[in-house]
Amino acid sequence: MAEQREMKAPWHSGKMLCVAIFFIAAVITLVAISVVQNKPIQQKYKYGIVLDAGSSHTALYIYEWPAEKENNTGMVRQRHYCPVKGKGISSYAHNSSGAGLSLMHCIEEAKRKIDPAKHKETPVYLGATAGMRLLMEQDPKSAEKVLSSVKDTLSKTPFDFQGARIITGQQEGAFGWITVNYLGENFGKAAGTMGALDLGGASTQITFVSNQPIESPDNSMDFRLYGSDYQVYTHSFLCYGKDQVLKLALEKQLQSGETLLQDPCFHQGYSQDKQFKDVFDTPCVKTINKDDSKENFTHNGTGDFAQCQSSIQKVFNFSQCTSSRCSFNGVYQPPVVGTFGAFSAYYFVMNFLNLTGQSLEDTKRNLADYCKTPWNEIKQRYGERVKEKYLSEYCFSGTYILTLLENGYNFTEDTWRDITFIDKIEGSSAGWTLGYMLNLTNMIPAEAPDTPLMTHGGFVILILFLSIFLLVLLFLGHRFLGRPSCSSPKDIV
Ligand SMILES: Nc1ncnc2c1ncn2[C@@H]1O[C@H](COP(=O)(O)OP(=O)(O)O)[C@@H](O)[C@H]1O
Ligand SMILES: [Ca+2]
């Protein structure tokens, strides 16, 4: 009897232990499964739409981010890009209703891309840049009509329309800088931020954190982002986008009143009849066509980089500066410092010319070779895949970029190496739109958000690790201490 009692006790405690092991394992497995499986259900996404109404064209960007992480840096990503067909909204000055209509195709695309249940809560913003700034200067009534037309279209979409505005050059520069540093996750880090160089068709912006006090309040902006203070230097040069500078350069060469223009910035063999009004009909060109009896001029290319550079230098005024130092046209600029991301037309042009990632000297030599290539050869080489207008202008645009960076902003052979020509960072386009949305939706906190103790993945691994550890512990305990078993008492005997 006594022996039987002795045998019953370990069987009883063994059974208890087995039940405990299975119970703990089941609970841990259930917790782990629920943690893993519930995640996509908990992960709610939010969306935002920004239309970039540039001088040459409009583009619609859809951004997305996980709802519960909207204050963390780098969480907002570009989900979709839709280029609007046709020219920029400022080209609808004489047909304002067409401006709103032109956006419809991309709006329809956005409706399909975003879950209909989210349409009502998705903000949509339109920001217009230098093309509309110029139209506002030239013909404010038409500019207002164009803005009304796009407002009308956007307010009739199912999205949450948040306004259509002409943004200032300062905002354009600052939001571009916020975008590249947000995507690069540079805020709040010791390594510092990256400067932003944006080249458009009608204006160009330079924005960076200077290592000197900023002398001119117009060029200074203060931000507190993710727990760090930033004072940035920014300037936007209206009329110094590449399309307007081309007009300025043609104007300078046409001042003699000639109807035949031999242009070193275009390839030898290039010859096109153009209208004077296409050069003079912009507030950027201050002179008027002296001889309006003639409508056309012939634009011929001679393909000479050095002469092209001196022709472009004439559109900059380097002679007056009332501050300690200037870039050009009397605009104060501290010396460039740190790394720079150059995007938009900087990227399109330098990428086409295969001039990214070279020294300044090599860039100049290769560009000079490209410029002296005859137009026929250029067309044969690239004509199939590049629009002829862009193709004819790459020599000019590349030379303008070099002149602007070297003579305008004072980059040197040394600091040239700090410039990266960028299109996208982590799949999102470099440009002002993302920074604009982050600002308007208050998604960039002044202070660094509390970081969670552990990431989701880390938590799952920890749970699994603990469950394995517990099982091993119980198994060892069972084996070496009590030798209890989950089998029947008969087996033990
Ligand atoms: N593939 C390309 N190659 C060369 N230039 C391009 C290309 N795509 C766009 N661009 C140019 O980039 C510039 C974009 O400027 P945009 O944003 O419209 O004007 P802004 O910023 O001055 O309002 C324009 O000059 C346009 O012609
Ligand atoms: Ca632009």
Residues 395 and 281 in one domain: yes
Check residue 480 and give its pLDDT: 72
Q: What is the pLDDT of residue 15?
A: 59
User: Where does a domain end: 166, 182, 200?
Assistant: 166
Q: Are residues 238 and 343 in the same domain?
A: yes
Distance of CA 155 from the midpoint of ligand 1 (Å): 27
Are both 192 and 316 inside the same structural domain? yes
Asked whether residue 450 is domain-assigned, the answer is no
Residues 308 and 323 in one domain: yes
Q: Is 487 annotated as a binding residue?
A: no
Q: Is 202 annotated as a binding residue?
A: yes
Q: For residue 468, report the distance from its CA to the centre of ligand 2, in Å.
A: 56
Question: Within this chain, do residues 330 and 477 fall inside the same structural domain, yes or no?
Answer: no
Whether residue 201 is annotated as binding a ligand: the answer is yes
Look at the block and give the residue holding tokens 């938590």. 459
**116 Cβ contact partners less than 8 Å away, ≥ 6 residues apart:** 158
How far, in Å, CA of 234 to CA of 152, rounded?
33
The single-letter code of the amino acid at 284 is C
Task: List ligand 1's pocket residues with C-beta within 6 A.
Answer: 54-57, 88, 129-131, 200-203, 241-243, 344-345, 348-349, 352, 390
pLDDT one-digit tens code per residue, 160-192: 999 999 999 999 999 999 999 999 999 999 999
Under 8 Å between Cβ of 132 and 53: yes
Which mutation among 55, 206, 247, 397 tests ligand 1's pocket best, with the greatest number of atoms within 8 A of CB? 55
Consult the annotation and say whether 457 binds a ligand. no
Please say if the pLDDT value at position 311 is more than 60: yes
The active-site residue, picked from 68, 108, 137, 172, is: 172
* Ligand 1 atom showing the smallest separation from residue 53 Cα: 23
Ligand nearest to the CA of 352: 1
User: Same structural domain for residues 330 and 290?
Assistant: yes
441 lies in a domain?
A: no
3-state class percentages of the chain: helix first, strand second, coil last, to nearest 5: 45, 20, 35
Please check whether residues 20 and 33 belong to one and the same domain.
Answer: yes
Same domain, 77 and 143: yes
Q: Give residue 441's pLDDT.
A: 95
Looking at the fold, whether 195 and 159 belong to one and the same domain comes out as no
Biggest alpha carbon–alpha carbon distance for the chain: 129
Q: Give the residue among 237, 216, 193, 195 at the shortest CA–CA distance from 411.
A: 195
Closest CA relative to residue 184, chosen from 340, 74, 337: 74
Beta strand spans in 284-430 (E): 296-301, 340-344, 419-421, 424-425, 428-429
Find the domain containing 471 and state its range: 2-42+455-492
With CA atoms as reference, report the closest residue to 428 among 77, 184, 82: 77
Domain boundary (118, 149, 166) is at 166
- Asked if 205 and 333 count as a contact pair (C-beta separation under 8 A), the reply is no
Q: Whose CA is nearest to atom 12 of ligand 1?
A: 345
Q: What are phi and psi of 59, to 5 degrees?
A: -135, 145
Ligand 1 atom index nearest CA of 241: 22
**Which region, left, alpha or beta, applies to residue 329 given φ > 0 means left and ψ of -120 to 50 means alpha?**
left
Q: Among candidates 209, 220, 231, which has minimal Cα distance to 335? A: 209
Q: Please give the average per-residue pLDDT across 58-64, as a whole number.
A: 98
Is 193 marked as a binding-site residue? no
Q: Is 70 exceeded by the pLDDT of residue 273?
A: yes
Query: What confidence tier does 70 reach under pLDDT thresholds 50, 70, 90?
Result: confident
Q: Which residues contact 361 (CB under 8 A, 6 or more apart)?
A: 413
pLDDT at 485 over 60: no
Residue 448 domain-assigned (yes or no): no
The end-to-end CA distance of the chain, in Å, is 15
Q: What are phi and psi of 307, to 5 degrees?
A: -70, -35
For ligand 1, atom 15: residue with the closest CA: 200
Ligand 1 mutation target, pool 50, 57, 61, 356, most atoms within 8 A of CB: 57
Question: Which ligand is nearest the CA of 433, by number?
Answer: 2
Quote the ligand 2 centre to 54 CA distance (angstroms).
Answer: 5
Residue 424 CA, ligand 2 centroid: distance in Å: 14
pLDDT at position 22 over 70? no
Do 304 and 335 share a domain, yes or no? yes
Residue nearest to atom 10 of ligand 1 (CA): 345
In this structure, which residue's CA is closest to atom 25 in ligand 1?
201
Cα dihedral 247, 249, 255, 257 in deg (nearest 10): -60
Q: Is 172 a catalytic residue?
A: yes
pLDDT per residue as tens digits for the range 352-364: 999 999 999 999 9
Q: Is pLDDT of 50 > 90? A: yes
**Which ligand 1 atom is the nearest neighbour of the CA of 394?**
4
Confidence of residue 462 (pLDDT cuts 50, 70, 90): confident
In the predicted structure, residue 5 carries a pLDDT above the cut 70: no
Ligand in nearest proximity to the CA of 89: 1
The structural domain count of the chain equals 3
Give residue 452's pLDDT band: very low, low, confident or very high (50, 70, 90): low
- Identify the pLDDT of residue 256: 73
248: in domain = yes
- Residue given tokens 């086409």 in the structure block: 352
Span from the CA of 103 to the centroid of ligand 1 (angstroms): 18
Query: For residue 11, what pLDDT is reported?
Result: 44
Residue 191 has φ and ψ, to the nearest 5°, of: -65, -15
Band of the pLDDT at 448, cuts 50, 70, 90? confident
Whichever domain contains 328, its CATH number is 3.30.420.150
Residues 71 and 26 in one domain: no
Give the pLDDT confidence of 81-129 residue by residue, as tens digits: 999 999 999 999 999 999 999 999 999 999 999 999 999 999 999 999 9
pLDDT of residue 12: 52
344 Cα–ligand 2 center, Å: 7
pLDDT in tens, 408-433: 999 999 999 999 999 999 999 999 99
Ligand 1 atom at shortest distance from the alpha carbon of 52 = 17
436 domain residue, yes or no? no
On whether residue 197 sits in a domain, the answer given is yes
Share of the chain above pLDDT 90, in %: 77
- Tell me: do 67 and 36 sit in the same domain: no
10, pLDDT greater than 70: no
Cα separation, 338 vs 352, whole angstroms = 26
DSSP secondary structure letter of residue 333: -
Among the bound ligands, the one closest to the CA of 54:
1
Cβ-Cβ contacts under 8 Å for 249 (sequence gap 6 or more): 265, 311, 312, 314, 315, 396
* Statement: residue 490 has pLDDT above 60: no
Question: How far, in Å, is the centroid of ligand 2 from the Cα of 60?
Answer: 12
- Percent of the chain exceeding pLDDT 70 equals 85
